[in-house]
Amino acid sequence: MVDITRVRRESLRWSLLVALNKTRPYTACETLLLDVARAIYPDATALELRRELDYLADRQMLELNKQPSGMWYADLTRLGVDLVEYTVDSIDILPQEVRRWLERALTENNFTGYADLEALLRDKGYLITRASLQRFGYKMEQQLARVRAATEAARLMAREAGDDADDRSAGLMALIQTEMMDILMRLQQVGDGDDPSERAKLLATASKNIATLTRASVNLKRFQSEVREKVESAASAAEKIARKGGLSAEAVQALRREIMGIAT
């Protein structure tokens, strides 16, 4: 199944990065950033916002200024700016075998140890800055999350030999959610000459669509459960009547299978 919590967290992080980039060179208070979060998810809380700000600060995407009054202020680091506005990196022109080695090293180290990777690349004759490695690692981590989500959705669709219409519907919803997340992740990398406010609207719309799809998925599962319960009850009742009517055990089971087929 698609990890809806992860989708929500990633879309919030991107929205916060984009908002902070727009406020540069000024810092932004958490009140403003909470408004940004609630424009996408109306139920977003201050605690949720602080958790995502801490996450981005831990990865050196932004700097936090926690005032004695309790108010938090945030400002993008150079790495955060590059992540939002970046188009081409020196990593993109690495030889394929070196890039594959780098990707394996990042995944095996759980996207940590950038200083060591910088030194190892230097030994191989490639001068790649730590900021570039962190930026590449962050993007790769998000891509892997989308791949995992798509794989889980495909597995759901293939379950029971792929013949269950309800499962296919749930699988399609999962794939749509994954695709919507992919749109969110790519919006800030496409059309640098476009109106930033228009791109922000697209970002918010896409995020709201994810929430809508999530509700639809929940409703679908509830409907599936209700249908199966009703059909099971009907099958049991028909089985009792058939037995009293003198049908053979084989005929009774065939009748039950026929009725249960309605729910699949």
Structure confidence by residue, pLDDT tens digits, 20-78: 988 888 889 999 999 989 988 899 999 999 999 999 999 888 999 999 999 999 999 98
At 90 the pLDDT is 65
Distance CA 116, CA 114 (A): 5
Asked if residue 166 has pLDDT above 60, the reply is no
- The pTM of this model reads 0.39
Of 158-162, 179-183, 200-204, 260-264, which gets the smallest average pLDDT?
A: 158-162
DSSP string, 31-75: HHHHHHHHHH-TT--HHHHHHHHHHHHHTTSEEEEE-TTS-EEEE
| Residues 22/80, Cβ–Cβ less than 8 Å | no
Distance CA 213, CA 176 (A): 8
φ, ψ (nearest 5 deg) of residue 147: -65, -45
Q: What is the mean pLDDT of residues 237-258?
A: 63
**What does the pLDDT look like over 63-112, one tens digit per residue?**
999 999 999 999 999 888 877 765 445 676 678 888 889 888 988 888 88
* Most distant CA atoms of the chain, gap in Å: 85
Question: What CATH number does domain 1-85 carry, 3.40.50.720, 2.160.10.10, 3.30.2000.10, 1.10.10.10?
Answer: 1.10.10.10
Distance CA 144, CA 150 (A): 10
At 190 the pLDDT is 47
At 126 the pLDDT is 76
